[in-house]
Chain A
Amino acid sequence: MEPAMKTTPAQTWDENVVLSVEHLTMRFGGLVAVNDLSFNVGRGDITALIGPNGAGKTTVFNCVTGFYKPTEGRIVMRHGAGLQTDKIEALTLTGRQFNDDGDDRVFLLERMPDFEISKRAKVARTFQNIRLFGGMTALENLLVAQHNPLMIASSMTIGGIFNLPGYRKARAEAIDFAAYWLEKTGLINRADDPAADLPYGDQRRLEIARAMCTKPHLLCLDEPAAGLNPRESTELNNLLQYIRKDHGTSILLIEHDMGVVMEISDHVVVLDYGQKISDGTAEQVKNDPKVISAYLGVDEDEVAAVEESLDMPVIHGKNDPADNSEGGQS
């Protein structure tokens, strides 16, 4: 069980947890990008991971989705309700990657290869610099995302070659499912256009639609609002709310746009120099002086002044934003 921050009482995300990151450390050579980080993502929540540039947010994402193997720490994904502490501890001792008996499956993501995390643990992601299949149509992009169920439906290609009815049915359903998400993201009219041809905002939404086509339990979005205009930003908010409400998919997002973060997040985790400096609701985090100093980059005297006025102990540490780029890989 994750110890709650001293300022916050036990929160919903500590009780109904879909993903817990525990004592995660990631070192690149001598560089510590993430240092002993722990936080929980509540089921059905929209959780935001924020922090200055280079704070290690994308590194956390890459560890969660298996692109990096963490140096230390445990990352647990739960499909069933409850904390399932006993089951997880037992699994940790066995050296296995996951326990998928029954409905309350649990996964130790740090042990799983990246593609298994998407396939079994049902964690989908998008990328900071969009990674669509540019030469393939929007529809094809969404069909690639349904690769694994379609492979089974095509009896590992054999049935597909002979175009057996079972495969034909599965294929039609897959196209319908893709069309459903194209509809939801407002891209249905561009279904047969190559992804590289779409405008930037559409590409961002297509990437989200593609991730949703893997039917994830947790959707990780890396700066989904970056480069969007205000109207597109609002549309994105609505889309994320819809995904969370109607599909019950929990969302973990990295975002710089504070407007977006404050508006839609149920829970905000703040990183700086690879360490968690704040964790709470948007309202709590907004007023946390550590967050203010990390973001505003005020020098220490001013921080002290602010803290004095807030009746807080003085924090010692570097808070110069000019140094932030050295803080870790993002």
Chain B
Amino acid sequence: MSAAAKPGLMADSVKDAAVAALLVAVLGFFFFALRTDIGTGGLDLTYRWGLWFIAIAIAFGGRLLLNLFVFKTSRPITGGMSISIPEGVMSGIGRVLGPVLLLIALTLPFIVMAVYPDRDRQFIDLAILIMTYVMLGWGLNIVVGLAGLLDLGYVAFYAVGAYSFALLAQYFQIGFWTALPLAGLLAAVWGIILGYPVLRLRGDYLAIVTLAFGEIIRVVLLNWYEFTGGPDGISGIPKPSFFGLDFSRTGGFAEFFGLDYDSIHRFIYLYYIILILALITNFVTLRLRKLPIGRAWEALREDEIACRSLGINTTNTKLTAFSIGAMFGGLAGSFFATRQGFISPESFTFLESAIILAIVVLGGLGSQIGVVIASVVMIGGIEILRNLGFLKEIFGPDFEPTQYRMLIFGLAMVLIMVWKPRGIISSRNPSAVYKERKKISSDMVAQGEGH
């Protein structure tokens, strides 16, 4: 284990670390050492040699340590970390994990209120956010994970749902519960309208076209000022009522049930709405997987030509996947609108599509639990990064931890993918069993058109 035992190791490691340091020096020169800022009479150039040297030193030191203890030794310390878990234990965990997560999800608001009474609102709000992404992830999982259609514009349907409800509320005073199914339906219809002409395109062409659709819808929302309010968005979107009871200070939910008014009631209510919506998404997906239509989606992902040779109308099959996925996106969108009370095109950028897709792929394509884990890790992770104020005390008042949020998010995407290219949960459950249920290793499962 000691570096001295292997004389070549130290030299190799230092050399390698020097290369890494040189690379950082080259890459970072124009970003660490030089900085341009708007000054009087044009741009000023400031020099930050100290920062540059620190970056180089960190690269050298970090790489050296990694080399010595992880990459180049015969017994890397990570060896201890990757204990292979016996098959039986793993499937045991898998069987228990779902119900346990469900139980936690069902009781979460009360757990939070009991454990963090001071910050319950914030945590329940975070849980609502995560649950929204879980629902979006499950919706997109139908399209990408099951049917193998790469959709980079899923946020379009999220936007359609949100704007459908907002506009219905604005122009026709329609409440959340009436608008919800309408928004889902509209999103599904949009899924068919957008999907029909393009679903025969192969893999990456489909990806770029869906991306284009996402951008087109956003640009239209942004510029159709008279109808959508353009960049100002739509505000004053009504909150959902509980069987006609509002969550207002007087005469609402609290008074009816004889409770003291507390704004947390509304948060808890919103949480349960999105939980139920998400669970419906999950239930429907799991049912569909076991039905001929779901099996046809998976077959389509495996081999489209074979599907056609077996009499499956692949266009219709793709369209159903696309529109059902769109419908769930639309439902989530109208929930988003009611939760925020305000929407604008800002919320529906390509980054949203990318995050949802990342959740699906990082979780493991087609895996429902994987989506939950990835949402908690990625979305929860981003939000935790918002709360790192204490770092200011370490690095000084100029240090702003929140600006590193997306940087770390991006790095995490890269690292998780390199670590587990198949996603966190990477086995497939067969949809029908003759005698014995066996998990299918993801190495055999195709990822859709193109390859």
Question: Using a CB-CB cutoff of 8 Å, which residues 109-131 of chain A contact chain B?
Answer: 114-119, 124-125, 127, 131
B293 touching A192, Cβ below 8 Å: no
A118 touching B311, Cβ below 8 Å: yes
Closest to B296 in A: A147
Contact of B215 with A by CB under 8 A: no
A151 touching B436, Cβ below 8 Å: no
- Which of B8-16, B248-256, B369-377, B427-435 has 4 or more CB atoms under 8 Å from chain A? B427-435
Complex: A67 Cα to B308 Cα, angstroms:
9
B310 touching A214, Cβ below 8 Å: yes
| Residues of A near any B CB (own CB < 8 A) | 65-67, 114-119, 124-125, 127, 131-137, 139-140, 143-148, 150-151, 154, 157, 160-161, 163, 175, 178-179, 182, 188, 191-194, 196-197, 210-211, 214
B440 touching A133, Cβ below 8 Å: no
A119 touching B293, Cβ below 8 Å: no
B313 touching A179, Cβ below 8 Å: no
Which chain B positions have C-beta within 8 A of A154? 291-293
Complex: A182 Cα to B435 Cα, angstroms:
13
A161 touching B445, Cβ below 8 Å: no
Contact of B302 with A by CB under 8 A: yes
B311 touching A140, Cβ below 8 Å: no
Measured CB to CB, the closest approach of chain A to B441, in angstroms, equals 8
CB within 8 A of A136: which of B293, B430, B436, B442?
A: B430
| Residues of B near any A CB (own CB < 8 A) | 284, 287-288, 291-293, 295-296, 298-299, 301-303, 305-314, 320, 428, 430-438, 440-442, 444-446
A157 touching B434, Cβ below 8 Å: no
| Interchain Cβ contacts within 8 Å, total number | 143
Measured CB to CB, the closest approach of chain B to A265, in angstroms, equals 23
A147 touching B291, Cβ below 8 Å: no
Q: Can you show 16 pairs from A to B with CB atoms below 8 A apart?
A: A67-B305, A114-B309, A118-B311, A124-B309, A127-B305, A135-B442, A135-B445, A139-B433, A140-B432, A144-B307, A161-B287, A161-B288, A161-B291, A175-B434, A192-B436, A193-B438
B295 touching A144, Cβ below 8 Å: yes
Measured CB to CB, the closest approach of chain B to A173, in angstroms, equals 13
Measured CB to CB, the closest approach of chain A to B325, in angstroms, equals 15
B291 touching A157, Cβ below 8 Å: yes
CB within 8 A of A133: which of B291, B292, B299, B314?
A: B299
B446 touching A179, Cβ below 8 Å: no
Closest to B293 in A: A157
Complex: A157 Cα to B313 Cα, angstroms:
15
Complex: A152 Cα to B313 Cα, angstroms:
14
Measured CB to CB, the closest approach of chain B to A263, in angstroms, equals 27
CB within 8 A of A135: which of B292, B308, B428, B438?
A: B428
Closest to A189 in B: B435
A118-B311, A192-B433 as given contacts; A133 in contact with B293, CB under 8 Å: no
- Known contacts A136-B440, A161-B284, A161-B288; 15 further A-B pairs (Cβ under 8 A): A65-B309, A114-B308, A115-B308, A115-B310, A118-B310, A118-B311, A127-B309, A131-B309, A134-B444, A135-B302, A136-B302, A137-B434, A143-B432, A188-B434, A194-B444
Complex: A67 Cα to B295 Cα, angstroms:
22
